[in-house]
Amino acid sequence: MARPKSEEKRARLLSAATEVFAKNGLTASTASITSAAGMAEGTLFIYFKGKDELINELYAELKQELGEAMLRDYPGKESIQSRFKHVWDRLIDWGMENPDKLSTVHKIKVYEGLRPEVRDSLHAKFGEVHALWQTAQKEGIFQDVPHEFVMAVLSAQAETAIVFMKQDPKGAATYKEKGFEMFWSGITRKK
């Protein structure tokens, strides 16, 4: 009879994969991941069918964590701009606190092996953000562009702000604020 899988070991493998992928990219070997986790090389295959499954599960877990961070204490009754600012601030904070995780998310989101069902299942986890975008569209606040484009612009501008915040910690608050102002003025309709 096979031993039950340890959730702690699985978590260690995912954590090690995050670090290894952030530093070495998705071409890093499974041996480098198990080594970073302090485990025997074959252990990874007890928990994941292969590297592709590891990458897909890691992406789902990291995006789940990011989604929870972005929606923590979400001000659902405030203005659309205030709610987007909340999402922006939480995204920036999570990225600053978790640079390896953010780097790995960005690498995996363009991975050709990312399964559509993994990508699609994550849309439900960001339901509040999708609903916010729909409300902004219905009220004529946003320019007529697809939701995916808005989220890609938000992500790219947040990543740029994070880079500058790390390079210039004294100006971090300014980059965070100005980054959002630039996002907001770029996506909203001019009146």
Q: What DSSP designation does 120 have?
A: H
Q: What percent of the chain has pLDDT over 70?
A: 96
How far is C-alpha 13 from the chain's CA centre? 19
Residue 93: pLDDT over 90: yes
The reported pLDDT for the residue numbered 2 is 54
Average pLDDT over residues 77-92: 95
Indicate the range of 28-37, 99-108, 136-145 predicted with least confidence.
136-145
Band of residue 6 on the pLDDT scale cut at 50, 70, 90: confident
Residue 1: pLDDT over 70: no
Band of residue 147 on the pLDDT scale cut at 50, 70, 90: confident
Residue 87 CA neighbour count, 13 Å, CB half: 24
One-letter amino acid identity for 6?
Answer: S
Residue 180: pLDDT over 80: yes
Band of residue 75 on the pLDDT scale cut at 50, 70, 90: very high
Do 54 and 13 meet the contact criterion of CB atoms below 8 Å apart?
yes
Kindly report the number of other CB atoms within 10 A of residue 31's CB atom.
Answer: 12
Between CA 187 and CA 191 the distance in angstroms is 12
Q: Which of these, 49, 48, 46, 13, lies nearest to 32 by C-alpha position?
A: 13
Between CA 74 and CA 87 the distance in angstroms is 8
Q: Residue 159 is inside which H or E element, if any?
A: helix 147-167
Q: Which of these, 55, 49, 40, lies nearest to 9 by C-alpha position?
A: 40
Residue 4: pLDDT over 80: no
3-state SS record for 44-63? HHHHCCCHHHHHHHHHHHHH
Does the global pTM surpass 0.85? yes
